[in-house]
Amino acid sequence: MHDNVADMTETKVSAGTGETSADVREWRQLLARHADLTCALDRELQSGHGLGMSEYEVLERLANLPDQSAKVQQIAGSVHLSQSALSRVIGRLEAAGLVERNMCPEDRRAISVCMTEKGLLRQREAQPTQRRVLAERLHAPLIKSCDPTD
């Protein structure tokens, strides 16, 4: 699927000149790197820990807070997910017993998400996998990581 990542990131598309600007090339490299890392993280976290990348990111953000709890709006700003996507992620984490949702005591309109002991344990177990994938892939040449045989 990503065999042509390098070729596609350098494709000439500018109208008129036939040349791609440095900004466009850098943008394509950034997108390719993001896709490579996302696929690798999803595959490794799912196979080793039953978590997708977004689930892991929510757990890690919560784990780093003093009380392992935050309002949904705070989490949304730090994980770069839409409210609806975050709601689905939190629903999956809640169904797995990794977080609990509660009404926020200070603001009854808000929902707070609190990590469970099981969630904290899962995040701690998955962290070395996440860190290993980042160390291996973040600055390495792009490869086709979405291929399950990769």
- Across the range 49-74, mean pLDDT stands at 93
Please give the structure tokens belonging to residue 86: 């975050």
HSE of 12, CA atoms in CB hemisphere, 13 A: 5
Instruction: Tell me how far apart the alpha carbons of residues 12 and 40 are, in angstroms, rounded to a whole number.
Output: 28
Instruction: Tell me how far apart the alpha carbons of residues 13 and 122 are, in angstroms, rounded to a whole number.
Output: 45
Domains (range + CATH), the chain: 26-137 (1.10.10.10)
DSSP string, 30-69: HHHHHHHHHHHHHHHHHHHHS--HHHHHHHHHHHTSTTSE
- Tell me the per-residue pLDDT of 73-132, one tens digit each, with 9 for 90 and over: 889 888 988 888 999 999 999 999 999 999 887 777 888 999 999 999 999 999 999 999
Better-scored residue on pLDDT, 143 or 114:
114
